[in-house]
Amino acid sequence: MSKVLILSGAGISAESGITTFRDSDGLWENHRIEDVCTAGCLETNGEATHKFYDARRQDLQDKEANYAHKLIVELKHKYPDKITVMTQNVDDLFEKAGMKEDEIIHLHGFLTQLRCTVCENIYDIGYKKHNEYHNGNCPNCGAELRPNIVFFGEAAPEYDKLTLALNSCELIVVIGTSGNVLDVTYFAQLTDRSILNNLEPSPAIDDSYFTKAYYAKATQAIAYIAEDIEEFLNDF
Ligand code: NAD
């Protein structure tokens, strides 16, 4: 079991040009979260939902990983068994920085994948639009395909792995999340040591529970965070 859990959110990708949620008043790229990210939106608002994720997927194509993604990948490769990396992000910037599929857990899904609504097979479609892949139908069973994204109100199967990681890690590092979706204050209380990095304090996080907080851009804070992690691991 890993001693260190690195958990990131939309803020780590902000400097790569991907808009966060809360920094724009609960909107993501000018869409209300309820309209395109909530359970049932494919039934009530299917066309707009697909259009939204098609656009987000296409937007990813020219986005590049930043220094924070890259340094985390380096750390993961240096300490493969001691560090677990999880992200709430659905973008592929860790992968662009060199992370392999089995080295990272995307808690809320992955934009470049579609999932069958019936047989649940998952398909990598890169930056294509939903309809450009088998007309949006499952090549296995013919049922409709949907973005492989966890909408608000839906089950998040990867949370089981998060619970396991939280139970075993001794240091949690939280980067670029407002704490509105995951209760990172509680996570900090579960672990011996905890580090927080955001641009500014969030009303949904009580930073007094964290051992250390860096309020700075992730690309600036990450070198200090990497030092903290290495120091912690080398103390053992
Ligand atoms: P959020 O938008 O709620 O909060 C972003 C946080 O990042 C804020 O606390 C802000 O202070 C911080 N931040 C902004 N710029 C930063 C920077 N340069 N360096 C460090 N911190 C910075 O993000 P969240 O908590 O991850 O939101 C929850 C949901 O948003 C997630 O479920 C995720 O799936 C979804 N989302 C993902 C992406 C993506 O994949 N890149 C983009 C938007 C939303």
DSSP structure string for 145-185: EEEEE--BTS--TTHHHHHHHHHH-SEEEEES--SSSS-HH
Query: For a pLDDT cut of 90, what percent of the chain falls above it?
Result: 89
C-beta of 177 in contact with ligand 1 (< 6 A): yes
Tokens coding 126: 């890169």
| Residue range(s) of every CATH 3.30.1600.10 domain in the chain | 19-62+109-149
Q: Is the pLDDT of residue 213 over 70?
A: yes
User: Over the stretch 53-67, which tens digit does the pLDDT of each residue have?
Assistant: 999 999 999 999 999
Question: Which residue stretches of 61-213 are H helix?
Answer: 67-78, 93-96, 159-168, 184-190
Question: From ligand 1's centre to the CA of 105, what distance in Å?
Answer: 16
Q: Count helices and strands (H / E) in the chain.
A: 9, 11
C-beta of 8 in contact with ligand 1 (< 6 A): no
User: Over the stretch 104-158, which tens digit does the pLDDT of each residue have?
Assistant: 999 999 999 999 999 999 999 999 999 999 999 999 999 999 999 999 999 999 9
- The whole-model pTM stands at 0.96
Which of 18, 19, 20, 53 should be mutated for ligand 1, with most atoms under 8 A from CB?
A: 20
User: Over the stretch 216-233, which tens digit does the pLDDT of each residue have?
Assistant: 999 999 999 999 999 999
Question: From ligand 1's centre to the CA of 184, what distance in Å?
Answer: 13
What interhelical angle do 67-78 and 218-234 show, nearest 10?
20
* Fold type of domain 19-62+109-149: SIR2/SIRT2 'Small Domain' (3.30.1600)
Contact 112, 126 (CB under 8 A): yes
Confidence of residue 84 (pLDDT cuts 50, 70, 90): very high
Q: Which candidate in 69, 108, 130, 134 is catalytic?
A: 108
Question: From ligand 1's centre to the CA of 188, what distance in Å?
Answer: 18
C-beta of 148 in contact with ligand 1 (< 6 A): no
Nearest CA to ligand 1 atom 43: 20
Question: From ligand 1's centre to the CA of 65, what distance in Å?
Answer: 15
Buried b (16+ CB within 10 A) or exposed e, 145-179: bbbbbbbeeeeeeeeeebeebbeebbbbbbbbbbb
Q: Put residue 32 in one of left, alpha, beta given phi > 0 → left and psi -120 to 50 → alpha.
A: beta
C-beta of 159 in contact with ligand 1 (< 6 A): no
| Residue range(s) of every CATH 3.40.50.1220 domain in the chain | 1-17+64-108+156-236
Architecture of domain 1-17+64-108+156-236: 3-Layer(aba) Sandwich (3.40)
C-beta of 108 in contact with ligand 1 (< 6 A): yes
Beta bridge partners of 146: 115
Contact 19, 63 (CB under 8 A): no
| 106 given a catalytic annotation | no
